[in-house]
Amino acid sequence: MEGTAMLTKREKASKFILSIFFVCCIGVFHFNTSGYAFETGWYTNNPSSENKNNLAFYASQGATIMLPYNCYFYKSDTAAYLEEAALRKIKVWVDLRLHALGSPLPSQSNWQNFINTFKDHSAVKGWYIADEPEYSGPSYSVIQQYYNWTKQVDPTHPVAIAHAWTVKPDSAPLAEDILLDVYPQWGYGNTDYNEFNWRVRESYKWWKNAKSLTDGRGQRIWAVPLGFGYFPGTTNPQNYVRDLTNSEHQWHTHTATVLGYKGAIFWWDMNSAGMVQTNPNMKNLVAKRFSEISRMAKEMANGATNSGLRSVSVPTSKLIYRYGLNPDSNSGVILAVNISRYDASDNNGEVLNNVEFGLPIGIPAPHVEVIGENRTIPTANGVFADTFSRFQVHAYRFYSSTTASVPAAPAMLRAY
């Protein structure tokens, strides 16, 4: 699995030595595939020329992955889309959603011919073969057959399916990767549109429960956060979904990031009549998330949840964090999220004043930068403090410029 593979003999000695140094700084050793980073992007309508031409813009915002619908029906467009994606250093989940392919479904030869056409392209992330099959189908037995046909001709790239809200316990054999759709308010008929209402706050519950299940099954999991809201040009909710505030959207997204999700693919960049549609405000919020994530992607991928710091002055029932280091840049990031009273009956949350973070021993950072907030916080004896308003998210970056000699490797190495 990505994120847990041991370093190979081909890793350069300098990177290995630097990683060993980080063992003593972080307290645990994180095995991860070289070059891997937390990925983020959009679902889009199809691999048309218009959507292909949007890739440069989204790459400039920090997007690194896309999932365009209907690739099976647009073979030549898919080829052009992949070429552009490779140029922009964007990976692509190739969409083969079975429920959208009509009847009869593709034959084994047609299915495998499509896979063989694109499997060697550098931009291919993997194959997306089912979208919420609990609602849209097909049966798990049919998905299993197409999964098997896929792996016969391409054992390398992962197969993915999406679930809504919860990961189904009997879907484990169908995919290596799970994409989890969590859209506050969707379909509930709930008219509590106050900031941080229960449907927004329960995002954390869905992310946490699903991550626990997929960890136990050895699967990777991706967040599919909200990328739409009001019907464009109005303040009319779509399917009871309104625009989130920036604070809500940040919390909704990063309660998944902090848990160690593989990435965040927002649903969706779409403006066709007859479907729920994104709008300029929600696209702007997603762009903010792209920017934040791009500034901490490797650190989050190389990190651990609620582990690695010398100390945090409040319990994880109130604040959760993810701490990771990027050995390529000697930079560390702490992503911290105030979850206090997220499951309460009111929307009040709790202000957490003067939360103290103790950096690991051996990291001589004189200050931390608060990502996206245009401020820095000094450290004193490796400790800094900050305040969190209700359900607030802060991300702290620091750099280690130490030239201390490399310590001996620890006797016990733990993989996360």
Peptide bond into 138 cis (omega under 30): yes
In order along its 416 residues, the chain shows pLDDT tens digits of 333 333 333 333 333 333 333 333 333 322 233 335 899 999 999 999 999 999 999 999 999 999 999 999 999 999 999 999 999 999 999 999 999 999 999 999 999 999 999 999 999 999 999 999 999 999 999 999 999 999 999 999 999 999 999 999 899 999 999 999 999 988 777 678 899 999 999 999 999 999 999 999 999 999 999 999 999 999 999 989 999 999 999 999 999 999 999 999 999 998 777 788 999 999 999 999 999 999 999 999 999 999 999 999 999 999 999 999 998 888 999 999 999 999 999 999 999 999 999 999 888 899 999 999 999 999 999 999 999 999 999 999 999 754 222 223 233 222 22
252 & 276 share domain: yes
Instruction: Answer whether residue 113 is part of any domain.
Output: yes
Instruction: Answer whether residue 257 is part of any domain.
Output: yes
Instruction: Answer whether residue 169 is part of any domain.
Output: yes
Count the Cβ atoms, other than its own, within 10 Å of residue 321. 23
Instruction: Answer whether residue 1 is part of any domain.
Output: no
166 & 291 share domain: yes
Instruction: Answer whether residue 345 is part of any domain.
Output: yes
Query: Containing H/E element for 179?
Result: strand 177-181
210 & 332 share domain: no
93 & 148 share domain: yes
Question: What is the per-residue pLDDT for 400?
Answer: 76
Cα(406)–Cα(17) distance, integer angstroms: 7
Question: What is the per-residue pLDDT for 301?
Answer: 94
Domain count, the chain: 2
Cα(230)–Cα(243) distance, integer angstroms: 6
Closest CA to 207 of 219, 194, 224: 224
Instruction: Answer whether residue 163 is part of any domain.
Output: yes
Question: What is the per-residue pLDDT for 36?
Answer: 54
Query: Containing H/E element for 399?
Result: strand 393-399
Asked if residues 190 and 145 have their Cβ atoms less than 8 Å apart, the reply is no
Q: What's the CATH number where 345 sits? A: 2.60.40
Q: What are phi and psi of 12, to 5 degrees?
A: -65, 145
227 & 150 share domain: yes
Q: Which two tokens stand for residue 323?
A: 């701490």
Residues 96-134 as b/e (b if ≥16 CB within 10 A, e otherwise) read: bbbbebeeeebeeeebbebbeebbeeebbbbbbbbbbbe
Q: What's the CATH number where 250 sits? A: 3.20.20.80
Among 295, 314, 336, give the residue marking a domain's end.
295
291 & 312 share domain: no
219 & 117 share domain: yes
Cα(101)–Cα(383) distance, integer angstroms: 56
Question: What is the per-residue pLDDT for 28?
Answer: 30
* Structural domain of 110: 39-295
Alpha helices in 126-272 (DSSP H): 133-136, 140-153, 198-201, 203-217, 246-257
Asked if residues 106 and 98 have their Cβ atoms less than 8 Å apart, the reply is no
119 & 267 share domain: yes
Amino acid identity for residue 333 in this structure: V
Backbone φ/ψ region at 99: left (φ over 0), alpha (ψ -120 to 50), beta:
alpha
Asked if residues 255 and 247 have their Cβ atoms less than 8 Å apart, the reply is no
Among 262, 295, 328, give the residue marking a domain's end.
295
Question: What is the per-residue pLDDT for 29?
Answer: 26
| Cα 96 from chain centroid (whole Å) | 21
122 & 212 share domain: yes
Instruction: Answer whether residue 110 is part of any domain.
Output: yes
Instruction: Answer whether residue 407 is part of any domain.
Output: no
Cα dihedral across residues 92, 98, 102, 105: positive or negative: positive
Query: Containing H/E element for 387?
Result: strand 383-388
Question: What is the per-residue pLDDT for 364?
Answer: 84
- Cα distances from 361 to residues 176, 378, 381, in angstroms, run 37, 16, 10
Burial class (CB in 10 A: 0-12, 13-18, 19+), 18: middle
282 & 357 share domain: no
Among 248, 278, 295, give the residue marking a domain's end.
295
268 & 313 share domain: no
371 & 241 share domain: no
Count the Cβ atoms, other than its own, within 10 Å of residue 14. 9
